[in-house]
Amino acid sequence: MNKRKERIKLLPILIVIVIVLFVLSYFNKEKVITTMKVNNWGLSFQEKNTCPVIDIDKKELEVSEAYHLGKENKIYLTFDAGFENGNTEKILEALKKNNVKACFFLVGNYLEKEPELVKKIVAEGHIVGNHTYHHKDMATLNSKEEFIKELEDLEILYRNITSSDMDKFYRPPQGKFTMEQLQWAKEAGYKSIFWSLAYVDWEVDNQPSKEEAIEKLKERIHPGAIVLLHSTSQTNAEIMDEIICEWKSMGYEFGTLDEL
């Protein structure tokens, strides 16, 4: 009887201890989340035909298997696409004509609405990369589980369309990320792909002229450049054959991300 009374007396104390531990665990978790530094990928072009300056520690990128440059004297073409507006076919024609392979970073909406075009991209030897299912600001996600789900949901959709596994290349939407997320991507088998050359080509209703685009792309190209273009750009569709020929005349060859 005495032992039973002692256990009853101890019960409130145990309950208090459990509650305290739960609260401490919760706030420690929130502390980890809120101290994750959000990075915005940016480039500073300072010299013609020279790799731009980035404000991220290159060693940190290497540890996370994140890339913005490839091998010397090679160019790596990549295209981001959140939707289709009729320009991808022309881009594919130019790539095929010049025997150049690229990587198309696609989202869930694109795969759902353009399964036949996705199959064509794959059939012509191009890589399809993971641009997440919803193209949300990934840096705002609060957990590894949420982050990985964005990647895995796209993988599943891609597999259902192509009957093959998606290549493990990840590009953060809008270039927003945390270093912790790059590690999560690495643990999931992904290489994170940034870029060292881009220009304002994504404003569908405010496209640059062909002359403006070619001038910028010629001046900004550099050894090992990972080039980010948007396949929604009418200008890109119009200049693709010409700019590839220009870059070849400058002595560049074209590589693919699986060489990294």
Q: Give the chain's mean pLDDT.
A: 90
The verdict on 11 and 106 lying in the same domain is no
The verdict on 49 and 24 lying in the same domain is no
Which token pair is 20? 């305290």
| Angle at CA of residue 162, ends 177 and 114, nearest 5° | 70
List phi, psi (to 5°) of 129: -100, 165
pLDDT of residue 27: 47
Domain hosting residue 175, numbered range: 39-259
Alpha carbons 97 and 94: distance in angstroms, whole number: 5
The verdict on 246 and 135 lying in the same domain is yes
The verdict on 81 and 204 lying in the same domain is yes
The verdict on 206 and 100 lying in the same domain is yes
- Over residues 228-257, the pLDDT tens digits come to 999 999 999 999 999 999 999 999 999 999
Please identify which of the residues 68, 80, 167, 222 carries the catalytic annotation.
Answer: 80
Q: Spell out the residues 6+ positions from residue 204 whose beta carbon is closer than 8 angstroms to its own.
A: 85, 232, 233, 234
pLDDT of residue 60: 92
The verdict on 76 and 92 lying in the same domain is yes
Tens-of-pLDDT digits for all 260 residues of the chain?
Answer: 555 555 555 555 556 554 545 544 544 444 334 457 999 999 999 999 999 999 899 999 999 999 999 999 999 999 999 999 999 999 999 999 999 999 999 999 999 999 999 999 999 999 999 999 999 999 999 899 999 999 999 999 999 999 999 999 999 999 999 999 999 999 999 999 999 999 999 999 999 999 999 999 999 999 999 999 999 999 999 999 999 999 999 999 999 999 99
Q: Spell out the residues 6+ positions from residue 35 whose beta carbon is closer than 8 angstroms to its own.
A: none
The verdict on 52 and 113 lying in the same domain is yes
The question of whether 80 is a catalytic residue gets the answer: yes
Percent residues over pLDDT 70 in the chain? 87
Please identify which of the residues 165, 167, 230, 258 carries the catalytic annotation.
Answer: 230
The verdict on 229 and 101 lying in the same domain is yes
The verdict on 78 and 5 lying in the same domain is no
Considering its fold, how many domains does the chain have in total? 2
The end-to-end CA distance of the chain, in Å, is 72
Alpha carbons 182 and 169: distance in angstroms, whole number: 11
CATH of the domain at 197: 3.20.20.370
The verdict on 15 and 68 lying in the same domain is no
The verdict on 75 and 110 lying in the same domain is yes
Beta strand 191-193 with 169-170 is parallel
pLDDT of residue 36: 77
Which token pair is 219? 């001046």
Could you tell me the CA-to-CA distances from 129 to 106, 126, 233 in Å, in that order?
6, 10, 19
- Over residues 92-135, the pLDDT tens digits come to 999 999 999 999 999 999 999 999 999 999 999 999 999 999 99
The verdict on 45 and 152 lying in the same domain is yes
Q: Output the pTM of the full model.
A: 0.86
